[in-house]
Chain A
């Protein structure tokens, strides 16, 4: 993307080469693309902003704790947090196209076997929910495609170069079926996490966090009239408790006219789909933060040790090996256990501690994976040239080395993200890490463990299958990007062990 980072055309010696100048000369395609993008964002602005703000709030809370711990003084962030919370509530109140308000799926019959009221167009709740879910996923793919389309518009109308190596990489990825499969799975996962509140048949707040403060209206067959009861009472009646007990399986209704796409959890009978959708958000938060920390450390170590080599490289090897020597999952268990009850463990129900611990213990695996490419690029003549005319080492590393390893970082980061998700779930399975009421996929498996062989098989099976699918998806995406970057690499090496995250999770 030559010229993409030239912010000011006036500073450019040749205004003709700057991106803004090129757009100004032929604004048509850019305007058309921008208009569609603006519409796409506008119809979902509330949901997108709310998702973003809830992440910002967690980060602020974490930073406040870290700064407070370092300075010894409490940082008054309650006001900021309250403001963020208010902003999030305001964002959620913004009408969005694909929300449960526009396409409601919760309603009740007005008579035995009679028509539904309260649902979208009077549809059956299952159909109303399926319609909304399908539209949300379609929207996610559409916005993803439109972002890609933006790149195509740039390439066709505004890029200075006729051809760059990136075009070939893109073509190679487009022909990579396995990589495309991974991309689809990853987009589905991201969409589930981003649109969790709108996607699920009910909201986490109503069904998971405070079910007793909400009411559900239903048609009472015995009394022959429409009645109302707290959600927690309805949940208790529709739990999935294995052989002999009550059970609400996948794709079925409970006695309160509520549709459960994945069935319900054991007592107190929460909705499994709502649980998993909200859990996807937690997993994504942990995964991205952990990989962000691990990636930053890995890149710093890789660049510095490859640039200076010698003793610096040796010190980095020793540091990385020492961290890798301690079994990652055991350290994670130790950290999660010792931080129990600590203020830091209250941020996002402990997800923050898990993410920090994962980031700090996993960077050597990522570093090992990108070490080869960094040593390779450090040996190229242009690095020597930069050194000889006295360029600052940090500038050389950032401008001439980082771009060469960025692709590999993406590949192995994507593969390691799967391992991070499994480790987070494993901790929850052991009742450590992310604590209730915040949902986590591993906890659903743990809750369903006693019922696998019964009619309530869905409780542990569905989250297990989903974890396997998502991890496979991230691995496949990594494979695809790697083959696209460098079709000649040997597909396998010892790095594959590291990429899975260093333990069986």
Chain B
């Protein structure tokens, strides 16, 4: 970093123009992603109206539903199909004005917002804890392995991380559920009765969290699922943290700090760890992708009433309007997280923005 203030300002403005460029680029991405959602929901082989009414439903309702979805309209007492491009324009306008409509099959006559609001807390709670578990275990393990390379502990941690990452979430979930529900028999400590009584397979109750015993129950209820969901990211974080520490250790500024007599502990904390965190940023934000996909499976096995399970149920039961809204919201969230990642990068890594 230069000491000259005007040059410094120029550098900062170029860094923020990089973020701005990313923001502008996000616009066509959102539009395209929404268009892909339209293709998946409206142009797929399943007729959305037919799926909503179902094989046993009242066929007389067909036109009524079709009109509400914007697929048909009433002209002179007859039902006419709306041209595809008009459907597309209407679909996109609705999405971008965030008019997500209502759920049809999962909970009829309820707005999509209400359905999501009733399910979101469970998933957010799960995501928060799995991110915390992954970062809290993966990064320290990786740092430790990187500081002690090619020792038995390093090998155990590295191979463990690789295998841990390769395990299918859904299988790991089953194994964890079984081990915990049999823990009384296996190790003599019954997980369900430990500290606060909870079930192994259940949606944790998220009300009255200000009371310590309710909070403890909610955390304990989510921890096994969070451990499973965080597993893939944990393996990634461990490997990348290890490499980052290994690479940072041999940097010139670390050698310089050593040479001028900075104590080893201080070098590790101030120079090695802080700089090794930089490559971890995209991994931690990248966790979001892993969480969204994995949530479907983990929520299914642990019977957690979250968004992932909602999406699965909606897709299987043909609630295509709800599926479309959820996909769009996920896309928005993903883009938001990506931009957040760029901002974080810009803030912590002064090299960004110098390129090009």
- A residues near B (Cβ < 8 Å) are 314, 317-319, 321-331, 333-335, 337-340, 342, 344, 418, 422, 425-426, 429-430, 432, 442, 445, 449, 452-453, 460-461, 463-464, 467-468, 471-472, 475-476, 490-494, 496-497, 500, 502-505
Q: Find out whether the CB atom of A426 lies under 8 angstroms from the CB atom of B175.
A: no
| Interface size band for B | 35 or more
- B residues near A (Cβ < 8 Å) are 25, 28-30, 32-33, 36-37, 40-41, 44-46, 162-163, 165-172, 174-175, 177-178, 181-182, 229, 231-233, 236, 239-240, 243-244, 247, 279, 282-283, 286, 289-294, 296-298, 300-301, 311-312, 315-316, 318, 320, 323, 326-327, 330-331, 334-335, 338
Given A334-B44, A337-B315, A445-B174, list of 7 further CB < 8 A pairs?
A321-B338, A322-B33, A429-B297, A467-B171, A468-B168, A492-B240, A493-B279
Q: Find out whether the CB atom of A503 lies under 8 angstroms from the CB atom of B289.
A: yes
A148 to B323: give the CA distance in the assembly, Å: 50
Q: Find out whether the CB atom of B174 lies under 8 angstroms from the CB atom of A491.
A: no
A430 to B29: give the CA distance in the assembly, Å: 30
Inter-chain residue pair count (beta carbon < 8 A): 194
A331 proximity list for chain B (CB < 8 A):
40, 327
A442 to B282: give the CA distance in the assembly, Å: 30
Q: Find out whether the CB atom of A475 lies under 8 angstroms from the CB atom of B162.
A: yes
Q: A317-B25, A325-B334, A490-B243 are in contact. Are A472 and B162 (CB under 8 A)?
A: yes
Q: A-side binding surface: helix, strand, loop or mixed?
A: helix
B327 proximity list for chain A (CB < 8 A):
326-327, 330-331, 334
Closest to A361 in B: B36
Q: A327-B330, A425-B168 are in contact. Are A497 and B44 (CB under 8 A)?
A: no
Selected A-B contacts with CB under 8 Å, 27 pairs: A318-B28, A321-B338, A323-B33, A326-B33, A326-B36, A326-B330, A327-B293, A333-B315, A334-B315, A337-B46, A340-B46, A430-B296, A430-B297, A430-B300, A432-B316, A452-B175, A461-B175, A464-B171, A464-B174, A468-B163, A494-B282, A500-B236, A503-B289, A503-B293, A504-B169, A504-B232, A504-B298
Q: Find out whether the CB atom of B286 lies under 8 angstroms from the CB atom of A468.
A: no
A461 to B174: give the CA distance in the assembly, Å: 9
B29 proximity list for chain A (CB < 8 A):
318, 321-322, 325
A500 to B291: give the CA distance in the assembly, Å: 13
Q: Find out whether the CB atom of A453 lies under 8 angstroms from the CB atom of B315.
A: no
A27 to B239: give the CA distance in the assembly, Å: 50
B172 proximity list for chain A (CB < 8 A):
464
A232 → B minimal CB distance (Å): 28
Q: Find out whether the CB atom of B166 lies under 8 angstroms from the CB atom of A505.
A: no
A442 → B minimal CB distance (Å): 8
Q: A468-B166, A490-B243, A503-B294 are in contact. Are A322 and B36 (CB under 8 A)?
A: yes
Closest to A473 in B: B166
B199 → A minimal CB distance (Å): 15
A201 to B217: give the CA distance in the assembly, Å: 49
- Interface residue from A328, A463, A491, A505 paired with B243 (Cβ < 8 Å): A491
